[in-house]
Amino acid sequence: MKITFMGAGSTIFARNVLGDVMCTPALCGCEIALYDIDPVRLKESEIILSAINKTINSDKAKLRTYLGVEHRREALRSADFVVNAIQVGGYEPCTVTDFEIPKKFGLRQTIADTLGIGGIMRALRTIPVMEDFAHDMEAVCPNAWFLNYTNPMAILTGYMQRYTGIKTVGLCHSVQVCSEHLLQALGMEDKLEGRQEKIAGINHMAWLLELRDRNGNDLYPEVRRRAAEKNATEKHSDMVRYEYIRRLGYYCTESSEHNAEYNPFFIKAQHPELIDRYQIPLDEYPRRCVEQIAGWEKEKDGILADGKVSHTRSKEYASYIMESMVTNAPLKIGGNVLNAGGLIENLPFDACVEVPCLVDACGVTPCRVGRLPVQLAAMNMTNINVQLLTIEAAVTRKKEHIYHAVMLDPHTAAELTLDEIVAMCDALIEAHGDWLPAFH
């Protein structure tokens, strides 16, 4: 069996996913191809993963590295699974540009990797690279599963599912910890074991539709009471999602710092007091990037000096999916899949939705959810509009569809005029230069 990791220079994430593989008996003897375009980061990942392989896996996995576009097809050849974790343009220059230019127009962001102008630009520079991946895979590993972790998840995964022949599922980190973190934060830890849950929607805005204890008792009345009380009496880092519970009736999967910028409610230039009221961390992603870069340099030096690295299997879905497909042991995940046939009836068929999926040797089989509560479907649609228009822009290379996507972004439209939106888009397109394809 062969696993190819695209963007292996994302060392911390590669360590988690591939360390998980090395912890799994059904996978630990596989061939692992590490691919990246950055020689320094690729080498660092090779050293770290080789140390994990030696420390916990008796060197059973066979690691090989592939540097640069000219070696990409060989990295993919005969792969059974392809894990995607690329970031086109990196923190510098592209992420910095995605934050700094919108600021000049008065548009502030928190994460900017999923929706909004930052998510749109990230998608437009990433889709051409993923299109190349798909062409290579169709040539050298047409039956491989493409496990996408790169954001913006719904846009990139939706593009792969609609416009390529590659078997693709999008994977996030937030579904599997959503109810656990909520119950812990509300002092309901005694309800964790044996809990029953149902989650569906779109990536980063999938809804915790049902939450019951081991005996089937509905936990939502108490969750709603405690969440309202906590928001009314203390400041904390999850106030936006607790406000969702109050106003919409349900909690959603991804963090408050993310969801603060997916709607027109919380980041408003005319109401700066909301930033403090809801504890919204503006410019959070650049701050994290700087901290992670510095932290990684320090951690890397310690690892390289010692030469021994251990690993405990994480909650990331990737290794569990591979194990399930190899062994035919059934697995339930929350996956990002095309809404074909109306898995969620009141969302568009060409949307990428996040729903429960069964995994086994047959692959990933999505489960039908039915209708979402109308207010939740409406919230999802405000994001899906942007996602579908961004894909349209990437496929047609028409600049007008970029404008359309940004015009319909909830946060941007609440802050900027149409003329400002067009000017901001043009400024970003010019600043990104060759990181973007040509639009007409």
Confirm if 60 and 28 have CB atoms less than 8 A apart: yes
Q: Helices marked H in 105-249 — which ranges?
A: 116-140, 153-163, 178-185, 220-233, 239-248
204 has binding-site annotation: yes
Q: What are phi and psi of 358, to 5 degrees?
A: -95, 135
Q: Distance of CA 347 to CAs 281, 343, 377, Å?
A: 31, 9, 7
Residues involved in catalysis: 173
How far, in whole angstroms, is CA 337 from its chain's centroid? 13
Q: What are phi and psi of 4, to 5 degrees?
A: -110, 130
Q: Helices marked H in 328-417 — which ranges?
A: 374-396, 399-407, 410-415
Q: Helices marked H in 23-106 — which ranges?
A: 39-57, 72-76, 96-104
3-state helix, strand, coil in the chain (%, to 5): 50, 15, 30
151 has binding-site annotation: yes
Confirm if 145 and 169 have CB atoms less than 8 A apart: yes
23 has binding-site annotation: no
Q: What are phi and psi of 395, to 5 degrees?
A: -80, -45
Binding-site residues for Mn(2+), in ranges, read 172, 204
Binding-site residues for substrate, in ranges, read 151
Binding-site residues, in ranges, read 151, 172, 204
